[in-house]
């Protein structure tokens, strides 16, 4: 609960500038990566879809407009960031991702982008996703990781652990981007995420989107 409250406080504080800074620090690639995520959800008409850690609703919005007739739910620990206009079209639920307030086998698709490294219990989150997905359902998770290639790793370290906190902290008048950078520094390797998903019962494909720094995990129940 302590980490939930700390993470909620951070995102409440940076909510008005998060999207802009996110785009700047990703060199404008964040929206492309979200489009790739949604593509791998393999959407079709009349599905029930859940977007966890929805933030401002960028992935939620893509799902809604691409999945005709779909029932779309967005979930986040805070509602301070979510696009209020989008609430007219999708259901929005405030809850930690580790305690999904839905019945078993409720959804055909589940997504999360840049969520897992902020969780207090990633194993419980994956168990919850498995529980609420229908048999044959697809879960696509995207996050940032420490790249391991020597030159890429060094450049990433300078950029992400020095420049990004400096820019984000100055823009928001806080130290929150130091925390956000450190969530990547101390996060699992992509292959660990794959193994955790396999242990929950998923069939998993991992996809490198950016030199080992951004990965998709496409998991089928």
Q: What is the pTM of this model?
A: 0.92
Q: How many angstroms separate the CA atoms of 118 and 68, rounded?
A: 31
Strand partners, 76: 94
CATH number of the domain that 83 lies in? Answer: 3.40.50.150
Quote the domain boundaries for residue 108: 2-220
Convert 6-55 into a string of H (helix), E (strand) and C (coil).
HHHHHHHHHCCCHHHHHHHHCCCCHHHHHHHHHHHCCCCCCCEEEEECCC
Q: How many domains does the chain have?
A: 1
Query: Do residues 117 and 127 make contact, with C-beta atoms less than 8 angstroms apart?
Result: no
Per-residue pLDDT of the chain (221 residues; tens, 9 = 90+): 556 666 566 555 555 666 766 777 788 899 999 999 999 999 999 999 999 999 999 999 999 999 989 999 999 999 888 999 999 999 999 999 999 999 999 999 999 999 999 999 999 999 999 999 999 999 999 999 999 999 999 999 999 899 888 888 887 888 888 888 888 999 999 999 999 999 999 999 999 999 999 999 999 99
Structure tokens that stand for 109 in this block: 């698709």
């Amino acid at each position: 609960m302590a980490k939930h409250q700390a993470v909620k406080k951070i995102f409440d504080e940076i909510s008005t500038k998060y999207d802009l800074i996110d785009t700047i620090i990703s060199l404008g690639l964040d929206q492309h990566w979200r489009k790739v995520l949604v593509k791998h959800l393999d959407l079709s008409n009349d599905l029930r879809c859940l977007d966890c850690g929805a933030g401002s609703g960028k992935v939620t919005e893509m799902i809604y407009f691409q999945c005709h007739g779909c029932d779309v739910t967005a979930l986040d620990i805070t509602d301070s960031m979510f696009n209020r206009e989008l609430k007219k079209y999708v259901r929005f639920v405030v809850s930690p991702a580790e305690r999904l307030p839905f019945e078993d086998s409720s959804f055909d698709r589940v997504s999360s982008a840049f969520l897992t490294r902020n969780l207090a219990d990633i194993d419980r989150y994956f168990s919850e996703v498995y529980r609420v997905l229908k048999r044959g359902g697809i879960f696509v998770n995207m996050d940032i990781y420490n790249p391991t290639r020597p030159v890429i790793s060094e450049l990433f370290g300078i950029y992400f652990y020095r420049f990004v906190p400096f820019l984000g902290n100055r823009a928001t008048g806080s130290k929150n981007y130091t925390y956000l950078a450190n969530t990547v520094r101390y996060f699992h390797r992509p292959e660990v995420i794959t193994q955790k998903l396999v242990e929950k019962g998923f069939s998993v494909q991992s996809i490198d989107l950016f030199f080992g720094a951004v990965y998709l995990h496409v998991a089928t129940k």
